[in-house]
Amino acid sequence: MQLDQVTDAELSILQFLWERGEASTREITIFLYNEVNGPKMSSAQKFIERLEGKGCIERRRIKKRIHRFRALATQEEFLRARLQSLADRVCDGTLVPLATSLVRTKGLSRKEREELRKLINDL
C-alpha cells in the first residue's frame, strides 16, 4: 500500500469512503463534482484507478458495469503512514519533533492532554 503517495484529490475520495464505508463510481463523482457527466465521470474513474494501483482501495463488482469501492486502510493507518513518512524525511525518522511541533502550534485541550498522558503511560 502506497499511503504516503496519495494526492489531495485521492485523499478526499478516501475520506469519503471512510465516512460511507463504500461507494459507487457515480457516488464518488457526485461527491467530487456535485454532478455527473462524461468528463467528470472519467476524471473520477482515473482517481479511483490510481487509488487501486496504490493498493488503497478495492473494487467489488455488483453488476456488469456497477462497482462498489472501499478503502483498504483505515484513517488511522493512513495518518500513521503519512506522519512516519514526514518524520523520515524531515526528522531522521523520529516522531518527537513532529509531535512537539504540533502540540506547541495548536495546543491541547484538557481532555486531549489527558488522552495523550494515558497513551504515553500505556505505551
What's residue 80's pLDDT?
87
pLDDT > 90? residue 21: yes
pLDDT > 80? residue 20: yes
What's residue 66's pLDDT?
84
What's residue 60's pLDDT?
92
pTM: 0.79
Q: Report the half-sphere exposure of 82 (CA within 13 A, side-chain side).
A: 13
Instruction: List the Cα angle 82/29/48 in 5-degree steps.
Output: 45
Which one, of 116, 81, 118, lies nearest residue 102 by Cα? 116
Greatest mean pLDDT among 13-27, 56-70, 77-91:
13-27
Q: Which residue has the higher pLDDT, 103 or 71?
A: 71
pLDDT tens for 75-108 read 999 998 888 888 898 888 888 888 888 888 877 8
What's residue 40's pLDDT?
92
Domains of the chain plus CATH, in order, are 3-71 (1.10.10.10), 94-123 (no CATH)
- Angular region, 34: left φ>0, alpha ψ -120 to 50, beta rest: left
